Chains A and B, each alone.
Chain A
Amino acid sequence: MKVANWGNYPVVDAEVRNFRNVDELREILENGSSLIARGLGRCYGDSSLNETIISTSKWKRILDFDRQTGKVKCEAGVSLDDILKVFVPRGWFPAVTPGTKFVTIGGAIASDVHGKSHHVTGSFSNYVDDITIMLSDGRILTCSKELNADLFWSTCGGMGLTGVILEATISLIPIETSYIIQEVVKTKNIGEIMTLFEESEAWTYSMAWIDCLATGESLGRSVMMRGEHAKHEDLLSDRSRKQPLTLHKESSLNVPFNFPSFTLNGLSMKAFNTLYYAKAPAQYKKSIVHYDPFFYPLDAVHNWNRIYGKRGFVQYQFVLPKENSREGLPAILRKISEHGKGSFLAVLKLFGPQETVISFPMEGYALALDFPITKNLFPFLDSLDEMVQYYGGRIYLTKDARMSAETFRNGYPHLGMFEKSRTKFDREQKFESLQSKRLGL
């Protein structure tokens, strides 16, 4: 069947295999020679694509919950949406959540996802207590930061190349309410937003939407959203006080088909960005919002990726070391606005320190941009790659569909450690994806 991830690029013809118990999985591994696990397909590019795909869609049971500590043990196919539905009403929340709740726990580990809280909590792996994996020879191993630590650290962020994640135990954090105290702050340019990020380090959650089409004095004008979990006494209405832990609603909005590709062009994107910036409050606004629009604004429209049409899009996300960001970020933004290759929603985030084997985050500024696929997009992205490398940055594997092996190697200095433990654990060398082949992994 035809399979593509969230960017709808590339599309491959793949055999998709489900498993319902470990024996079935072991049989798939025995008979396969080139396999990759896939959850909900919310990575953007080719990370979870291969001729044979092992889907975790029938492997999604919650196995244990400790109501004292908030530790949840579950199978890899359980989604963050499931976790929220089951545990928010009981006063627990994922400590690290990406911008969509439609990801599996297995995928969150394999991508070592980050969220608006990275500068405080670090990435997802920080809240993973242990992982159980089936290796290519059918053995099942459990790993943690203490036990089989080399397997643990090459599985977190390892894009499924060490084995198939079967189960994991993750730690949730306690919440009093399902609401967020949110502040929205508008800034005039890139310098202002960077200063604001640095002043906002005490906030648990922060991110900024950035207008990457603005130029000159307005280059990098942004709207920051920062937030904290609201305490019970913060809630204003009687209704929310009586029911402080309300759950998100199922979204009913959907994009039913691919938009024709002319819908998105320089003009419509410029108009969108200008409106978005203008719509933000004058300077500063404080309010109490539900977690759903705060963390998952795009989840409100199912299949929003279809607005990019049948040809699909690429999300380009990179991080620059903090010390190079004051120089590098404006330079890259200038390049993007000069080319008029904007993006509907470009997102800026200041990461805290992190140095792990193969995960994406490092201390510095991360910028994520969507680009619809057009004829001359890839050469343009290659030129961005050069700038990212020049400033010592790296590109996020989970979003990538096209970078070169060289760009990749330059960005990930601990690759040697990753390759060593991959050789050690994937003895039969069965796990690979279109991405790993492209990157020479």
Chain B
Amino acid sequence: MGRVLLIGAKSDVARALAHEFGAAGYDLILAARKSRELERDRADLMIRYNVGVQVEELDITDLEQLHTWYATLEPKPDTAISVVGLLGVQEEAQADWQSAKRAYETNLTGPALLLETIAADFEQRNEGTICGISSVAGERGRKSNYLYGSAKAGFSEYLSGLRNRLAKSNVHVVTVKPGFIDTKMTEGMPLPAPLTAQPEQVAKDIFKACMKKKNVIYTLWMWRWIMAIIRNIPEPIFKKLDL
């Protein structure tokens, strides 16, 4: 079995992914900021699944350090999944330049730069799977979350290019576009239940997509069709919508 690096390992989706891969017998590298909290997860995953688990401190916005961080990471993973995401509050990010910067660094610059380093390693080894959790919010910018959305749009396009580059190698790239998920990120938001996934469901979909070498998946599945409609609303109408 392989070894999976989870980038942003404290999120609800990452935790569910750790269970999914752990149950399948993969060793795990859990990387996050303030990683001390993950020691409990480490104990849990080791007891439940008898797999190796290591915890690594990682600040995805510390852009200068990302390359060194991966270069010194031992042992190296053969699957890397970026689950990093910061939704933030649009109004705050609009009003505060630093907050907007943080949204871009967390959702786009940091993950893309780290995956780029990892991709070079995987390409050289000619093996591995890279998976990025983007968002349906990246499919069309709207006023309520366009800073987050545009960063995710950039991340989706980054993954698309990376997949194209690595298509001839043995390295596979998966883009995941979740819709609403019932997580800490969305706690307190009034989400429509039929369109809202549990993190465990999303993790199952991602695991399956990695195993089956899918290119782009939507989770829950209906978001593919919802977004197709939203993308096709003519701009003169779209710009006036309260979204």
Contacts and interface: CB of A to CB of B under 8 A. Distances in A.
B37 interface: yes
Contacts of B212: none
Interface stretch (A56-64, A197-205, A278-286, A395-403): A56-64
B12 interface: yes
Interface in A67-103: 75, 82, 86
A437 interface: no
Given A20-B10, A62-B44, 6 more contacts: A61-B40, A61-B43, A63-B43, A64-B47, A65-B47, A86-B47
Interface in B39-78: 40-41, 43-44, 47-48
Contacts of B40: 61, 63, 75
A287 interface: no
B44 A18 contact: no
Interface of B: 10, 12, 37, 40-41, 43-44, 47-48, 184, 187
B187 A61 contact: no
Nearest to A60: B44
Contacts of A61: 40-41, 43-44
Contact of B44 (A21, A58, A63): A63
Contacts of B37: 21
Please indicate which of the listed interface residues A62, A75, A82 has the most CB atoms of chain B within 10 Å of its own CB: A62
A65 B44 CA distance: 10
B182 to A, nearest CB: 10
Please indicate which of the listed interface residues B12, B41, B44, B184 has the most CB atoms of chain A within 10 Å of its own CB: B44
A25 to B, nearest CB: 13
Contacts of A20: 10, 184
Contacts of A18: 184, 187
Contacts of A64: 43, 47
13 contacts: A18-B187, A20-B10, A58-B12, A61-B40, A61-B41, A61-B43, A62-B43, A62-B44, A62-B48, A63-B40, A64-B47, A65-B47, A86-B48
Contacts, number: 26
List the 8 closest A-B pairs by CB distance, nearest first.
A61-B44, A62-B47, A61-B40, A62-B44, A65-B47, A63-B43, A86-B48, A21-B37
Contacts of B10: 20
A86 B48 CA distance: 6
Interface in A43-62: 58, 61-62
A62 B49 CA distance: 11
Interface of B, helix, strand, loop or mixed by DSSP: helix
Contacts of A82: 48
B153 to A, nearest CB: 29
A58 B48 CA distance: 17
A82 B45 CA distance: 12
Interface of A: 18, 20-21, 58, 61-65, 75, 82, 86
A169 to B, nearest CB: 13
B179 to A, nearest CB: 19
B125 to A, nearest CB: 33
Contacts of B184: 18, 20, 58
A64 B46 CA distance: 10
Contacts of A75: 40
Contacts of A21: 37
B41 to A, nearest CB: 6
Contacts of B44: 61-63
B13 to A, nearest CB: 12
A62 B48 CA distance: 8
A285 B19 CA distance: 42
A80 to B, nearest CB: 15
Nearest to B41: A61
Nearest to B42: A61
B61 to A, nearest CB: 21
Nearest to A61: B44
A429 B12 CA distance: 32
A134 to B, nearest CB: 16
Please indicate which of the listed interface residues A18, A58, A61 has the most CB atoms of chain B within 10 Å of its own CB: A61
Contacts of A86: 47-48
Contacts of B47: 62-65, 86
A435 B212 CA distance: 50
A76 to B, nearest CB: 13
A63 B47 CA distance: 8
A380 to B, nearest CB: 36
A61 B44 CA distance: 5
A75 B15 CA distance: 15
A62 to B, nearest CB: 5
Contacts of A63: 40, 43-44, 47
A75 B44 CA distance: 10
A390 to B, nearest CB: 47
A254 B28 CA distance: 34
A65 B184 CA distance: 29
A115 to B, nearest CB: 24
A20 B44 CA distance: 14
A20 to B, nearest CB: 7
A401 B27 CA distance: 47
A216 B41 CA distance: 59
Contacts of B12: 58
A44 to B, nearest CB: 24
B23 to A, nearest CB: 10
A63 B45 CA distance: 9
Nearest to A63: B43
A371 to B, nearest CB: 30
A87 to B, nearest CB: 9
A202 to B, nearest CB: 35
A77 to B, nearest CB: 11
B32 to A, nearest CB: 12
A86 B184 CA distance: 27
Nearest to B34: A21
Contacts of B187: 18
A64 B40 CA distance: 9
Nearest to A65: B47
